[in-house]
């Protein structure tokens, strides 16, 4: 064999090796592209499975994060009256007419509750807003329409434009199954920091909102130590499975800071259904102003030589005032009466009575056991719808 023949054969061998190498590289690139494609499909179809190698928090967040939105609002706020000196004609000539209102911006969070474009949030996030803009998890910015609000439970429903596609509805949990010590994961946009996740536990249940200083609301809240900050309002509180168990609504500032509170999702879901359908949310009421009475407090009162009446030395809800033309007035309740049971449930605090009334139907008779002096009375009472004038106080 000549050297020239060997050279030609060598060139063909090199070309063949190059083709083989290119085929291998092309095949590898195709495999990698397919792997990336299927990974993206997996993330879209089952985000939690894509995070299977991560902790339970990452898996829970992956399920619900695509349903969490940021809500930006604008409202017109009337300015307060100016100092009398500003009415001076000389000052008005120098400064001109001062505006009697200004624009105010607000921000909160929300969660998509169905693929038809309904977003659940807090009433205080959208209250009085002239414009509501919703930013979805994928970055789309849409105008929202407030279809209903309920100040009593601090809940509101916002509707996205009809035909909005690729919406992910959050998975709802069951807040009645919660126990103190369960995991709690808060999602939202505090201080405009999108997609923030904080972790804690359920610290307590049935925390009455009136004990936090809100007398115009009717709520028993979930207490959590998961960090909730301004801007988190309306965002979801999750369990370890990534299901929504509450709606973040309050954070304690000042002494006791670090305590967060959420509206149980079982309550929020029922209110949201009414608001979305356009039906009013009816809250039964009796027309009573109550204070808690304990055995010790009654005993201290009764031993006071200046006390005008003797109180029953028993736990219950003490009637401080009966509103005129209310169901309580019609039933014959009086100031100083002690309510100790409602229906078949004992009443130890005003919150106990409120829970029974909230669970009753308007117009349906409810029997109250009342202690009045030495008498033990059983008074039937029919709750009426909470008047709008009272709900707005």
The whole-angstrom separation of Cα 92 and Cα 84 is 12
The two beta strands, 345-346 and 338-342, are: antiparallel
Contact 200, 186 (CB under 8 A): yes
Report pLDDT for 16: 60
Q: What average pLDDT does range 313-322 have in this prediction?
A: 93
Active site residue 315: no
| pLDDT confidence tier of residue 310, bands split at 50, 70 and 90 | confident
Residue 267: pLDDT over 70:
yes
- Judge whether residue 81 has pLDDT over 70: no
Task: Say which residues have a Cβ less than 8 Å from residue 50's Cβ, sequence separation at least 6.
Answer: 39, 42, 43, 62
pLDDT above 50 (res 5): no
How many of the other CB atoms lie within 10 Å of CB of 325? 9
* Structure-model confidence comparison of residues 233 and 212, the more confident one: 233
- pLDDT tens per residue, range 111-166: 999 999 999 999 999 999 999 999 999 999 999 999 999 999 999 999 999 999 99
The token pair at 112 is 């998509």
Torsion of CA 323, 327, 333, 335, to 10 degrees: -10
Long-range contacts from 325-328, C-beta under 8 angstroms, 24+ separation: 325/287, 326/285, 326/286, 326/287, 326/288, 326/384, 327/285, 327/286, 327/287, 327/381, 327/382, 327/383, 327/384, 328/286, 328/287, 328/288, 328/381
Residue listed under structure tokens 């990452």: 58
pLDDT at 14: 58
**What pLDDT sits at residue 184?**
97
Instruction: Output the pLDDT for position 34.
Output: 62
pLDDT band at 261 (very low <50, low <70, confident <90, very high): very high
- d(CA 388, CA 390) in angstroms, rounded, equals 5
**Active-site hit among 72, 109, 124, 326:** 124
Which residue of the set 67, 109, 210, 233 is catalytic? 233
pLDDT value at position 392?
47
Residue keyed to tokens 């407090």: 297
Spell out the CATH class of 55-77+103-281: mainly beta
Q: How confident is the model at residue 273 (pLDDT cuts 50, 70, 90)?
A: very high
Range 11-17 average pLDDT? 56
Q: How confident is the model at residue 365 (pLDDT cuts 50, 70, 90)?
A: very high
Tell me the C-alpha distance between 242 and 64, whole Å. Answer: 6
Q: What is the pLDDT of residue 42?
A: 55
Q: For 72-81, 159-168, 337-346, which range has the lowest pLDDT when averaged over its residues?
A: 72-81
Can you give the length of the chain in residues? 393
Domains 55-77+103-281 and 284-391 equal at CATH topology level: no
d(CA 244, CA 171): 6
pTM of the model: 0.74
**Domain boundaries defined on the chain:** 10-45, 55-77+103-281, 284-391
Q: Which of 18, 126, 9, 5 is nearest to 72 (CA)?
A: 126
pLDDT (average), residues 71-91: 70
pLDDT for the residue 354: 87
| SS3 category, 132 | strand
Residues contacting residue 135 through CB under 8 Å, at least 6 positions apart: 69, 70, 71, 72, 141, 142, 194
The mean pLDDT of the chain is 84
Look at residue 56 and tell me whether its pLDDT is greater than 50: yes
pLDDT score for 8: 39
Q: Which has the higher per-residue pLDDT, 12 or 164?
A: 164
pLDDT beyond 80 at 71: yes
Q: Which of 154, 315, 337, 352 is catalytic?
A: 154
User: E strands within the chain?
Assistant: 68-78, 101-114, 118-122, 131-135, 141-150, 155-159, 183-188, 196-208, 220-224, 236-238, 244-251, 260-264, 284-285, 288-293, 316-322, 338-342, 345-346, 366-372, 375-381, 384-385
- Catalytic residue status for 283: no
Instruction: Name the residue with higher pLDDT: 20 or 302.
Output: 302
d(CA 199, CA 192): 19
Strand 118-122 and strand 101-114: the pairing is antiparallel
Name the CATH superfamily for 284-391: PDZ domain (2.30.42.10)
Of 390, 389, 178, 384, give the one whose Cα is nearest residue 263: 178
- The pLDDT assigned to 3 comes to 37
pLDDT, average across residues 308-330: 92
**Tens of pLDDT, residues 277-305:** 988 888 998 999 999 999 999 999 989 98
The pLDDT of residue 2 is 39
Active site residue 81: no
């Amino acid at each position: 064999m000549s050297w020239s023949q060997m050279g030609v054969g060598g060139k063909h061998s090199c070309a063949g090796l190059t083709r083989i190498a290119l085929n291998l590289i092309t095949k590898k690139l195709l495999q990698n592209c397919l792997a990336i494609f299927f990974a993206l499909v997996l993330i879209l179809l089952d985000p939690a499975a894509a995070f299977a190698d991560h902790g339970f928090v990452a898996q829970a967040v992956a399920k619900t994060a695509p349903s969490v939105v940021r809500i930006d609002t604008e409202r017109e706020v009337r300015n307060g009256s100016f100092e009398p000196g500003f009415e001076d004609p000389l000052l008005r000539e120098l400064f001109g007419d001062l505006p009697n209102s200004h624009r105010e911006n607000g921000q909160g969070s929300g969660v998509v509750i169905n693929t038809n474009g309904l977003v659940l949030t807090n009433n205080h996030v959208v209250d009085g807003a002239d414009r509501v803009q919703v930013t979805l998890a994928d970055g789309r910015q849409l105008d929202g329409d407030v279809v209903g609000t309920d100040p009593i439970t601090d809940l509101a429903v916002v509707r996205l434009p009809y035909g909005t596609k690729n919406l992910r509805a959050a998975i709802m949990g069951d807040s009645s199954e919660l126990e103190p010590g369960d995991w709690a994961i808060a999602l939202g946009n505090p201080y405009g920091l999108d997609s923030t996740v904080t972790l804690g536990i359920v610290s307590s249940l049935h925390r009455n909102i009136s004990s936090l200083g809100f007398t115009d609301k009717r709520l028993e809240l979930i207490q959590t130590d998961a960090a909730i900050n301004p801007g988190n309002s309306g965002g979801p509180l999750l369990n370890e499975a990534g299901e929504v168990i509450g709606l973040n609504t309050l954070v304690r500032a000042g002494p006791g800071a670090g305590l967060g509170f959420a509206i149980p999702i079982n309550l929020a879901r029922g209110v949201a259904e009414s608001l979305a359908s356009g039906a009013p949310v009816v809250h039964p009421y009796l027309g009573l102003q109550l204070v808690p009475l304990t055995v010790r407090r009654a005993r201290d009162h009764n031993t006071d030589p200046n006390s005008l009446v003797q109180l029953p030395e028993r736990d219950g809800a003490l009637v401080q005032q009966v509103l005129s033309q209310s169901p309580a007035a019609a039933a014959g309740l009086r100031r100083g009466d002690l309510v100790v049971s409602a229906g078949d449930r004992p009443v130890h605090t005003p919150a106990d009575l409120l829970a029974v009334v909230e669970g009753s139907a308007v117009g349906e008779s409810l029997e109250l056991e009342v202690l009045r002096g030495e008498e033990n009375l059983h008074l039937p009472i029919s709750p009426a719808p909470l008047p709008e004038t009272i709900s707005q106080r």
